[in-house]
Amino acid sequence: MPSINLLPDNTRVDVGTIYGIGRNYVRHVEELNNEMPDEPVLFLKPAASLITQTRQIELPAFSTDIHHEVEVVLLVGREGRNITKDDALHHVTGVAVGLDLTARDTQSALRDKGLPWTTSKGFETAACVSDFLPIQRFRDLGKLHFRLRVNGELRQEGDSSLMIFPVPAIIAHISSIITLQPGDLIFTGTPHGVARIAPGDQLDLSLEDILRAGFTVAGS
């Protein structure tokens, strides 16, 4: 079972279900020419797709267009069903920065056929996360600044204040469908600037300048 690291005590937490939210920033919706959502766009990633900095990103053979998507990631610490927005943050125990890797060519083909996105979102190493910090380290989850640099070049820069559906709304929505469990992860959506990654690329992520992670794409 995959696990993540919760600072400052380096507590290992087994990961359950990985939830993703798509189309949660206006400019990202616009850059892919998608429709603005009326409610959070929810998808799943297999727990087996999760990696930490101890492992390289592996590009799948079936795609030639793997995109980086930097995101704020939440660690669920308390079980809940039909959670209200007012109570939502009481169910979050940790916060990280991560990458929701997407096989864009595969996703586009599946979407055109009305088929699920699983292959494009759930391949090996498609969910990358930093260590997690306790939620108490952050004053306001509605004002989190995060960045992604690829080979030293700034590629994506986001702020959670620009989310179409903020964190409490995301938690309320998911828990209205299925019970959230301790160890579940929630990828909250990516800002604009997504682009293809290539073998040998170095991806460096940061959150509020207090949390950093680096991932290398395998190959050369």
pLDDT digits (tens, 9 = 90+) for 72-120: 999 999 999 999 999 999 999 999 999 999 999 999 999 899 999 999 9
- Where in the sequence is the domain holding 135, given as residue range(s)? 3-216
**22, amino acid identity:** G
- Total-model pTM: 0.97
pLDDT digits (tens, 9 = 90+) for 47-79: 999 999 999 999 999 999 999 999 999 999 999
pLDDT digits (tens, 9 = 90+) for 8-23: 999 999 999 999 999 9
- The pLDDT of residue 4 is above 80: yes
User: 205 with 146: CB under 8 angstroms?
Assistant: yes
pLDDT confidence tier of residue 32, bands split at 50, 70 and 90: confident
CATH number, domain at 20? 3.90.850.10
User: 38 with 54: CB under 8 angstroms?
Assistant: no
Q: Provide the number of structural domains found in the chain.
A: 1
